Structure formats: C-alpha cells, structure tokens
Structure 1
Amino acid sequence: MRKNLIKYNGHDSPTIEEEIIIVDEMQEILDDVHAEQSTNDGIDSTATGHGSDMPNDFQGEGDRFARLMRDAEKELYPGYQKFSVLSFIVMLLHIKIISKWSNNSFDMLLKLLSDAFPRGATIPRTYKEAKKVIRDLGLHYEKIHVCTNDCVLFWKEYKFEDKCPSCNTPRYKFQEGKRNRVPHKVLRYFPIKRKLRRFFGSRKIAADMTWHKDKRIEEEGVMRHPADSLAWKEFDQKHESFASDPRNVRLGLASDGFNPFGNMSTSYSVWPVILVPYNLPPWKCMKDPFFMLSLLIPGRRAPGVDIDVFLRPLIDELKELWTIRIDTYDAVTKQNFQLCAALLWTINDLPAYAYLSGWSTKGKLACPNCNEDESHLYLHHGKKTCYMGQSILTSGPPTAEKQSFF
C-alpha cells in the first residue's frame, strides 16, 4: 500500500516531512465501495417489499465503480507507477482546499503539469475536468433554482415553470442574445442518503456507528454522550422498532449564516445546513470529516422565516428515510439492512432558532419554553426588553441592585 508524506501542523495548512507518514487509503476506499456495490447489485428490490418505491439514487453503481477502477489503475504517464490518475487528482484537490487555491490558479497548475510531464500523460488540464475524475466517489450536489423573493423552489411540481407561481417573478435573468439562461438564485442540495450509505460501507466507520449501544458506558447522573440524555431515551421508548436496531441514525441539524467574503462591509449571508450523526463516539461525531453538508442557502440576506422553503428537499429526504428506509450494506456484518434515520435536535443561536422554529425570539414572549409565564421587563431608557427571572422582580422590597436594573 503506497504511503504519502503529509503532516498537519495543527493549523490550517499541511507541511511535508519525511519522518511523518500517513497511509494512503485510496485502495481501501475502493475496496469498500466495491463490496457495497457488489452486494447491492445482487439485491432484488421487490424482495424487500418496496418495489418501485425504492429510490433510484444508486442506479448505475456498477458503471461508477468501473470508472473509478479505471482511473485508479491508469498510470499518470507511461512507466510511472507511484501515482495513479485517481490518487494524484485526489491529492492535488486536497492540497487545493487546504491551501485555499483559487480555481484559476489550479487551472494554471494543471496546464503547467500537463505540459511538463512526458508525452502520454493523462492528467486533466482544468479544474472542471479534475472534478469529473472524482465525481463517482459520490461528492456531488443538486442545483435547485429558487424564486428571487424566496417564495418557492423551482423543483418537482414547479420544475418546468419560468415564473414564480406566487409572485409571478421571472425565474431567469434577462440576458439578450445568450443561449444559457442564468437563474436569479440557486440552492445547492447535497443528498444525504448516499453519505449515510458510505458511512456503513466503510469498515472503520461502520464499526463506530453502533458505539452508542455496544461500547458506551452508562453511569447514573453523568452525561458523556447525547445517548445519555432524556430526549434520546424518551425517543427510544416511543419508537421501539427504531431503537431495536442500533445502526439506525440519530441526527442533529445545525445552521447559521456567515459572510464568505471576509469583508464585513460587503452585505452577504450564506447559510449552510449541516447534519451531525450522533451514533458515533463523542470524539468523532463533532469532527469535520463526519459533518454532512446538506444545504447551501444563497442570498445577500438571511432567509428569515422563508427558510422552510429551502429546507424542503432535506425534509422530504428525511421523511423518506423514516418511512420507506433504504437498503444499506454494512461492511462489518457484510449484509444489507434497512436503514432508518431520525432528526432529534437542532443546534443554533437565538436568531437562527427563531427562523428554524417559527417562534419569535424577540419581545415579551421570547422564550418558547416559558411562553406566557416568562418574567420580562421593558427598559424605557434602554428601549429593550430584559429577562431577569421571577425571583428578582417580585421577591422582597426594592433594593439598590433591583433599582440598578431598572
């Protein structure tokens, strides 16, 4: 198995050191993909009871794997066997992301390498061609056009509409003389079913997907993992069939907006929606490699209460994972099972909480738990509502401490 000399220095960028060696797992990844694909090809969907209702997201797996194996076995140029086309492109793209190269600089590098390598080199010449090499690893997303006023998605029943059925706004920008029409706004959606299947298709990750049941140590009054919480336990009591298989995935949803340009004078807000699989042990479930980016919501402003429009593809897929389930290969048991997933929590700050829950977090009734029982006081000089607790406001005679609040 080939080895690469790459080390992370604890920050954002890698350094090259001969004494630190990390094993390249490309062949192991391909072995897992091949095992998953071979098992799923031998399954008759009608035998599972789903028939035509089974999702068709995984059709053509054999062709995808054949292309991956072709690129994994193809020499970078005649007589050179240290890197294959696939491993070389994966390594280059990895360095591009870590080093924050622009697409133009990456195109220039690929053109220079293709000209410098001996004749017969099969290296792609552009970033677009390089992405095509790794697309069969499942790193894809779906572009969904959105109304410029965030009314609806041009998806499913509105897929072929040219105007918004709600506000009658055109779907595309007016560009005279151009064949390719440009939409006003595009939502990037990353399907999660394939990602969940890849978790169980990997021998290392699949063994940890049941950690919360097999290896977690329970101790009264101690919470080391979300499985120790009351919400997790009450959910298992209400849905015993779901809890009967520890491989069923419990998810948390996190979302918030940020300015991707790093210039705060530029008004722009991108909202990623990330899913966290809590089946994993605590030292893994909150790490970057296991975060699942599901939506990338564009816009110059926050989606606000219209965020439910953007969440529709994700909600539809979560409903499918709960009701229909999907055939999934378990690399540990080397058998298929019916995978089910449930969303247990959302993770966000108070403004994002208002968008996701539909509950206003401003004014007198800002707390969704306390509701009308919340103790509040409007500060006339500060022009704000404050929340100091019932005991502070009502207990005992006025004191200097209370007067300082008012």
Structure 2
Amino acid sequence: MLAGPPRLVSILTILLFLCLGWWYLRLVGTTPSTGLKIDTRPPPTPFSGNGLDFSIPLRFTEGHAKPPGSNYTVALVLPKTEKEDIEWMHREIPEIPLVVYEVDKPNAVNKVPKNKGREAMVYLTYIIDHYDDLPDTVLFMHAHRYAWHNNMVMGLDAVQMIKRLNHDRVARLGYMNVRCHHEPGCPDWIHMDRPGGDFDFFKKPEEIHWRRHVWEEIHPGAPIPPSISGICCAQFAVSRERIRNVPLERFQHYRKWLLMTAMDDQFSGRIFEYIWHYIFTGHEVYCPAMNTCYCDGYGICFGGRENFAKYFEKQDERNKLYEELHGYEQKQDKAKEEGKVYTPSEKEKARMVELTLQVGKMDKEMEITRNEAFERGKDPKMRLEETESWDSTHIWDYAPKDN
C-alpha cells in the first residue's frame, strides 16, 4: 500500500524528539574546561514516618544563608556547676543571650532531669524543651573561657570564637563544630570491630566503651559504621532548621538512654561527644578541612591548605625548641627547690641563647603570618576561595593547566 501524506501524529513525534535532543544538549553540552553544570544534589525530602525508626536515614540538605547584612538570632546553651565562674561571658559577650543550666543546683532556673551524662544531658534537655521555639543559631559550649580544645590561632579563647563565628556558615552547613583542628577525633578514630589489644587507652579512653550493643541501643536499626570520626570536644553550633530536621522523638530517646544507662557518667557523656556530628549530618565520619573552618568559619584565611599546613608545621617546630629551652629552666627550678644552685656549662649557655633567639624569630614570623591571615579574611573573595562548594561550575579553574 502506498504511503499517504504525513500524519499529524508523526510530525508531533518528530518535534518531541527534537525538543528532547535540544534539552539534553543544553544539559550536558559543556566542555571540561568550564566544568559540568549538572546539580546532582537530591531534592529536599521531609522526614515522614516513625521518628524512632533509625533504619530510615534522615535526608539533610544544604541550608541557605540570610541576605548580606542580616542579623541572626542566637542562643548560647551553657552547662555549668555552681563553682564554675562565667562572669567572663557577661563581661565580654553581653550581647549573646545565655541559657545556663546549673546541673548541681536544685533551684536552678533551667533544670535537667538528672545530673548525668555531662554536657550531653544539658544539650538534649535544651533541644527537647525549646524544639518549637529555637533561634536561628544555637551554640552549645562549655563554661571555661580558655581550653586546649579551643582554636589555637585565636589564642584558645572562647570569646574570640563566639565573636568571630560566621553564622552564614552555620546556616549553610546546618552543623559546625566550633573547633577546627582534627586531632583528636579525626580522621579515623572510634572503632567497634577491633580487638582489645588494639585500643589506645591513652589517646582514646572512650573507645573501649563504644561496643556494638551501645550503638544498637542508641540507634536501633541503623547500620553499624566501620568508624565514627568527628572533631572533639562537644562544642558546636547548629541551625534551627537542622535541629528541626531531626524528629523530636529521637532527642527524647537519646536522653532516655543517658538516664537509663549503667555506664560511668564521664563515658556516657563521651559517647555523645563522638556522635553529635552523626546526629546532625547523618555522616559517621565528618572532618571538614581545617583551613576552610578557620577561613569561612572565622574569617582567618591562610590562603589554602598548603599555607595552613606550613604555618602549623612551623608552630610545631617552634614548640619543640621551646620545650628544649624550658628544660633548662626546669633544671634551675628543681635545683632551687633542693636548695642547690644549677650552673649551666658554657655549651649549655650557648644553646640556651641560640634557642631563645630561634624561638623569638619564629614567634615574629608566625605573628606576621597570622596578621596576614586575619587581613585576608576581611576580603569576601579570599574567603570564598577557601569555602566548600557543591557547585562544580568553576571546579576546572583549579585543574593544572597545560603548558
């Protein structure tokens, strides 16, 4: 049978294929030099179902910062004992609203069900009590101002960390540990599948308490991870949206576990120290780049990972020299305690002078580098260069160029 004139259906089919082809070319038709423009992030999926079914993973998506110049509402949640002095907070950061839990004071304004589980009990209680009335950013921190686990470049000073914290970063990421340095806790830390002889009782005294049954009690039905790794030490910031992404029932379940467990108080609190990042990100291992944490998180930009590493290598070298110098001073102090006089040899005197000069020189060099990092952090473009991005549009700009 001879074919007749083109039919309408055939013409529509051809047009449909042409449109699909045009759309496909628009989608993938970029060259490697400009980078792919496909956004592969899954769309936001609200949690539905049983909040205590840990076999269903929560779907967290990147948040959004407010427009430039906007203010963020903040609450600083603070666990403390009666003997701990927080006058420094009232004096140095009066603009930050405090929510203080005095865990050992019967008539405290903010109470916990039981003084158990260290700061974890306070953090969970605050979230449960204020789940429907949260500020933009919730800061969970300790009562002491200076601590070894605060950030080194800011002089281990909690005031500087609180004042310089970038709330845009907290809004975008949802969760941010306020400590930038990886050790202890990253990148490979807690294991539940190791024989007892492999435990490090000095660096990781909590690891022996992290057994399979503990994970299953806290996260019933969730896959057991090969490793739990996250930056220490239970000081972090979380956005309101990220907290609300986690069903309230889970926080109530966590607190119930703390109340019921027979584990020693200090270790039950430590258990949570290594899962806060898991609770708020869904990742068993969460170790953000240290230079990015400093730059985007606090506006202290060293100009990339390599420069950041060089600075701390120099600091380590400086500290070794200082320890050697301090050893001579300790000999003098010990001799004085024993009623003796320590007289260093000519060789020791020469070494002490050399060490003093070397340490002084390195201190000046490091001060210059720090000042440059603070200045660089004032430039939005420089901060953007050290900020995580899931957008691959310009990723090929950083690839090695052919000569």
User: What interval of TM-score do these two structures reach, taking the shorter chain for normalisation?
Assistant: under 0.3
Report the structure, 1 or 2, having the larger helix content: 2
Q: Using structure 2 for the length normalisation, give the TM-score.
A: 0.21
Structure number having the greater strand percentage = 1
User: Which one has the largest radius of gyration?
Assistant: 2
TM-score w.r.t. the length of structure 1 is 0.21
Q: Greater RCO between the two (CA within 8 Å, min separation 6)?
A: 2
